[in-house]
Chains A and B, each alone.
Chain A
Amino acid sequence: SAVISQKPSRDICQRGTSLTIQCQVDSQVTMMFWYRQQPGQSLTLIATANQGSEATYESGFVIDKFPISRPNLTFSTLTVSNMSPEDSSIYLCSVRQGLEQFFGPGTRLTVL
């Protein structure tokens, strides 16, 4: 199984600023994903970040708002840019090994 850590675990930010979330995996994985879980809601896939290729964004999410880096097989970052209160959410990093998907602990973001 893959063990995933995220930094920061939580943050409170002012609107208009940006926050970069880091995701570290204890093993090399090809497929990495970023999800958002808004208060009281289910998980929504933001983008798929496979090493060696540009991130693929889901409908409703754009690179200018959520730029993603994937420099190697164990690390990725998600930036939430020009934040507004609507971006307040838990952001989750996830990786897949075979057909099983593992999740990080999440980053709880509050935008004031």
Chain B
Amino acid sequence: AQRVTQPEKLLSVFKGAPVELKCNYSYSGSPELFWYVQYSRQRLQLLLRHISRESIKGFTADLNKGETSFHLKKPFAQEEDSAMYYCAPLKGGSQGNLIFGKGTKLSVKP
């Protein structure tokens, strides 16, 4: 079955520590992959997409086709990174549907 898995419901780290939010997918073909973030009292917004290979707010995500993973990483977490993070493959290309993982709540402690 096609699915996206975020194994950690909650991830708690101290400020300045590295952080990795895991995402594994099982979709046929090569889906486009995205990370979305929802800060407290804000709407859901795009954080980054794998096709652009960019770093946003210090976060990067590498697509590993062999492991079918798209983990989100940041070397030094900041308190303002505390939020809900969703891994989301775009199933079916540009006309397809964005399917969300269950999300990981990141809490960065001072």
Residues of A in contact with B (beta carbons under 8 Å apart)? 31, 33, 41-45, 48, 58, 92, 94, 96, 98-106
Using known A-B contacts A31-B95, A106-B43, determine if residue A99 contacts B49 with beta carbons closer than 8 Å: yes
Mostly, the A contact residues are: strand
**Contact call B44/A42, Cβ cutoff below 8 A:** no
In the assembled complex, the Cα of A41 lies from the Cα of B103 at a distance in Å of 8
Pull 6 A–B residue pairs with CB atoms less than 8 Å apart, ordered by A.
Answer: A41-B102, A42-B101, A43-B100, A45-B98, A45-B99, A106-B43
For residue B32, CB closer than 8 A to chain A, the reply is: yes
Q: What are the 8 tightest A-B residue pairs by CB atom distance, in nearest-first order?
A: A103-B44, A43-B100, A42-B102, A42-B100, A105-B43, A103-B43, A42-B103, A101-B98
Check: B94 CB closer than 8 A to any chain A CB: yes
Further pairs besides A103-B43, A105-B43: 10, Cβ < 8 Å: A33-B98, A41-B102, A44-B100, A45-B97, A45-B98, A96-B98, A99-B49, A102-B46, A103-B45, A104-B43
- How many of chain B's residues touch chain A, expressed as a range? 10 to 19
- Given A42-B101, A42-B103, A92-B44, does the pair A99, B95 have CB atoms closer than 8 Å? no
